[in-house]
Copies of this chain bind each other. A is one copy, B any other.
Amino acid sequence: MSRMGSQTFVYDRPPAIAAHRSIAGPKEGKGPLAAWFDTVLEDDILGQKSWELAEMEMVRRCVQAALNEAHVTDEQAQAMLGGDLNNQIIASSFAARALGVPFIGLYGACSTFVQALVIGSALICGGFLDNAVCVASSHYCTAERQFRFPLELGSQRPPQASWTATACGCALLSNEDRGGLRVTSGTVGRIIDLNISDANHMGAAMAPAVFDCIAAHMADTGRTADDYDLIATGDLGWIGRDLLLELASAADMPLPPDRLIDCGASLFYQEQDAHAGGSGCGCVASVACGWLMKRLEAGDIRRLLLVGSGAMFSPTSSQQAQSVPGIAYAACIERRD
């Protein structure tokens, strides 16, 4: 309803998170967050004929579970906002086809889930929607063959590469005051590009955009990192998180290492051979919906800044020797007292 600064929306009628669901793949279900996910898949194919169809089915199940949890029928669901890493976001749009819900397709690479929260919250706070499903997914096997190499090739992964999570997260926003969690503000980031041209080094490509977005959020809201119990980025991985801390210190706006986590760096044990950590639209979505929102509900944290980051490149742009531009969106999620 109101604009506080140049990039931040403040929701003076904050939408409630009426339900949230997470699905994680088999590898993700063996990581440190295993116990937090609502569903851990036994395999990554879900009875489908292709990985792409499996990802669509994962999205459909995740959205359906969130709607069921809130006792909202497909017909009552007013909009689905989401996207994924597949070319032309087919996982999301085919899931929207199956559900029959009006669809707003978004693309912010790995930041898409937070992008959906920011836009969906604005549409609800503005009175345009009563509810909105925000969803994002990724699948290791669909992403690898699309962005890098077909898995069948058995390519060696460089140590700075992240591991695209097979995962999905979905939050149902509502204008009904249900207590619980609320989205209170959202920041739209700019595209920042410090000329990283290694498409495997996404943490480095995205860290500057994440810092730019956090700095804008703080400037717009007049807050500092001390106003947040936790800042969760997704997904910079272990390397990108270190770079973010360095960038913040260099700009004289240090971030507290003990209250800064990264979803990608939290998803896997180092021994799981995920190199720089988890990534993919589904990583921040599933970690936020599966772990962070439950921590908020438990009162372990009361105010979270969730910062989704995306690498806005394509195989074509990489082949044409372009660098990897980064973007980030931030959403403040608070527990109602």
Query: Which A residues fall within an 8 A CB radius of B?
Result: 1-3, 6-7, 9, 49-50, 52-53, 78-79, 83, 85-90, 93-94, 96-97, 100-109, 115, 119, 122-123, 125-130, 146, 188-193, 312-317, 320, 322, 325, 327
Assembly stoichiometry (copies): 2
Q: Which residue of B lies closest to A125 (CB)?
A: B126
Nearest residue in B to A97 (C-beta to C-beta)? B191
Give Cα A192–Cα B96 distance, bound, in whole angstroms. Answer: 9
Contact yes or no, B88 A9, CB < 8 A:
no
Interchain CB contact (< 8 A) of A122 among B103, B105, B122: B122
7 intermolecular pairs with C-beta atoms under 8 Å apart = A50-B320, A87-B315, A96-B191, A97-B191, A104-B119, A105-B312, A106-B106
Chain B neighbourhood of A107, CB < 8 A: 83, 88-89, 105-107
Would A93 and B327 count as touching, CB distance under 8 A?
Answer: yes
* A52 contacts across to B, CB distance below 8 A: 316-317, 320
Complex CA–CA separation, A125 to B3 (angstroms): 12
8 nearest A-B residue pairs (beta carbon) = A126-B126, A88-B314, A97-B191, A93-B312, A102-B188, A105-B107, A87-B87, A87-B314
> Which residues on B sit within 8 Å (CB–CB) of A190?
96, 100-103
- In the bound complex, residues from chain B placing their C-beta under 8 Å from that of A129 are 3
Cα-based distance from A83 to B87 in the complex (angstroms): 13
Residue of B nearest to A112 (CB): B105
Asked whether, in the complex, the Cβ of A325 is within 8 Å of the Cβ of B105, the reply is: no
Let me know if B97 and A188 touch, CB within 8 A: no
Q: Is the CB of A325 within 8 A of B127?
A: no
Q: A87-B87, A314-B88 are in contact. Are A93 and B127 (CB under 8 A)?
A: no
A74 to chain B, nearest CB (A): 11
A149 to chain B, nearest CB (A): 15
Nearest Cβ distance between residue A192 and chain B, in whole angstroms? Answer: 8
Q: In the complex, A189 Cα to B96 Cα: how many Å? A: 11
